[in-house]
Amino acid sequence: MKKILILLTLCLISVRAQASDLETVNLAFTITPQTVVKANQSTMSANVLLGPVIPGVKTEGEALDVSVLTNSNEPYRVYHELRGDVGSSSGGEFPEEELMMSVTPGRAGGHSEVSGKMKVERTRTLIFSSNATGDADQFQIRYSLKGDKPFSAGNYYGNIYLDVENA
């Protein structure tokens, strides 16, 4: 009797059901309300240059461009301060009552708090207020000398600080 041997090879093909796993990551971004003030000499030099000064002659300095950048949408104020002595390496005394400043209105509607020209103060002094909606703005500060009182020849240096705070 003829025998047939059949080998069956069973192939098991397993098809797995595809799994899915979803994770949700919650992202939170905190953007801090910020208002900053930046100042640049219009000629891009490191210092705000006032001069050459000739004794007894009124002198106008280069404009200092001031920008206020803000995302707070709150009205703000800009303050100005002259810190320390205005002095020279040669020992000359600078008559600080000679130093004046003027401030332009802002391009975005902010307004100058300096009427005409005022003496530059050693104390923190309000010089500019934003518009009602606190938009970013740009304005200029211009320093000048009255020319009433001569002072010794030389180069004098003083430190100017600007800061901004919400109104």
- Count the alpha carbons within 13 Å of 72 in the hemisphere toward its beta carbon: 21
138, 130 Cβ separation under 8 angstroms: no
Q: Is the peptide bond before 52 cis (omega within 30 degrees of 0)?
A: yes
Using DSSP's 3-state secondary structure scheme, residue 65 falls into: strand
Q: Residues 111, 125, 147, 162: which binds other proteins (CB under 8 A)? A: 162
Q: Is 91 in the site for other proteins (CB under 8 A)?
A: yes
Burial label, 35 (beta-carbon count in 10 A; 0-12, 13-18, 19+):
buried
Q: How far is the CB of 117 from other proteins (least distance, A)?
A: 15
Q: Residues 68, 86, 103, 114: which binds other proteins (CB under 8 A)? A: 86
Q: Which is nearer to other proteins, 33 or 55 (CB)?
A: 55
Q: Which amino acid is at 146?
A: K
Give the separation between CA 10 and CA 121, rounded to whole angstroms.
98
Q: Residues 42, 71, 72, 155: which binds other proteins (CB under 8 A)? A: 155
Give the separation between CA 162 and CA 82, rounded to whole angstroms.
9
Q: Residues 74, 154, 165, 167: which binds other proteins (CB under 8 A)? A: 154
Write each residue from 108 to 147 as x if it is in contact with other proteins (CB under 8 A), else as -, in one continuous string: -----------------------------------x-x--
Q: Is 94 in the site for other proteins (CB under 8 A)?
A: yes
Site for other proteins, rule CB under 8 A: 39, 41, 46-56, 64, 82, 86, 90-94, 99, 143, 145, 148-160, 162
